[in-house]
């Protein structure tokens, strides 16, 4: 996916992009969605990019569009992963690798109230997505963790067949409400 396509997929008017913020990109891979997020964020923002693959992290830039990107080698499914408090967490095509998805979401709620999720609209596991997270499953996972606002943002055809979707999940405030 091109960075411009990734940017379009995660953009939402419900996030105040014009002010500096800190975010985590969990399962960032080589940084396509990290760069897309940096494209949307205001200069002076920071992204903590986390991945288990050191070679993939080497492809992630240290800065983009005035946004600092701090790279962290780590397993996003590990309870020992420590993350700073942030305005949001981006998980693009990474949640489907986590077996204990709701447990992870509950842990992540200790550092943020906002999530941008990109996933495949699938219900059957395969070797590239052993724990599929179609949108209805995503809504159930977040609702079960106490997050009531889960909205689909966009969809697009996947290069691997089917559809890919993006969603915004927020715990403490809904559409149209200003956040701190």
pLDDT value at residue 176: 43
CA 7/CA 9 separation, integer angstroms: 5
- Give me the chain's average pLDDT, please: 92
Structure tokens at 41: 């964020």
Taken in order 82, 98, 70, 178, the sign of the CA dihedral is negative
Which domains, ranges and CATH numbers included, belong to the chain?
3-170 (3.40.50.150)
User: Tell me, what's the pLDDT at 158?
Assistant: 83
Residues 60-97: pLDDT tens digits? 999 999 999 999 999 999 999 999 999 999 999 999 99
Mean pLDDT along residues 159-163: 80
pTM: 0.92
Confidence of residue 126 (pLDDT cuts 50, 70, 90): confident
What pLDDT sits at residue 131?
83
Question: What pLDDT was estimated at residue 75?
Answer: 95
Cβ atoms of residues 57 and 71 within 8 Å: yes
CA–CA gap between residue 90 and residue 76 (Å, rounded): 12
pLDDT at 178: 40
Q: How many residues does the chain have?
A: 180
Both tokens of 90, joined, read: 């981006």
Q: Residue 180 burial by CB count (10 A; 0-12/13-18/19+): exposed, middle or buried? A: exposed
Percentage of residues in the chain having pLDDT higher than 70:
95
Using one digit for the tens of pLDDT, what is the confidence trace for 22-66?
Answer: 999 999 999 999 999 999 999 999 999 999 999 999 999 999 999
H or E element, residue 135: helix 135-144
- Name which residue leads in pLDDT, 119 or 172: 119
């Amino acid at each position: 996916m091109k960075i411009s396509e990734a940017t379009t997929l995660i953009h939402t008017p419900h996030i105040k992009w014009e002010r500096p913020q800190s975010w985590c990109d969990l399962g960032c891979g080589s940084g396509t969605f990290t760069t897309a997020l940096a494209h949307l964020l205001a200069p002076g923002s920071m992204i903590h990019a986390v991945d288990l693959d050191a070679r993939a992290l080497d492809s992630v830039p240290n800065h983009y569009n005035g946004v600092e990107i701090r790279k962290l080698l780590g397993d996003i499914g590990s309870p020992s992963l420590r993350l700073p408090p942030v305005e949001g967490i981006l998980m693009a095509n990474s949640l489907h690798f986590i077996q204990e998805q709701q447990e992870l979401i509950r842990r992540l709620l200790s550092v943020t109230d906002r999530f941008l999720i990109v996933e495949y609209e699938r219900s059957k596991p395969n070797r590239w997505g052993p724990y599929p997270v179609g949108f209805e499953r995503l809504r159930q996972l977040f609702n079960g963790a106490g997050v009531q606002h889960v909205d689909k943002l966009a969809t697009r055809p996947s290069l691997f067949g089917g559809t890919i979707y993006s969603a915004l999940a927020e715990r403490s405030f809904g559409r149209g409400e200003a956040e701190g």
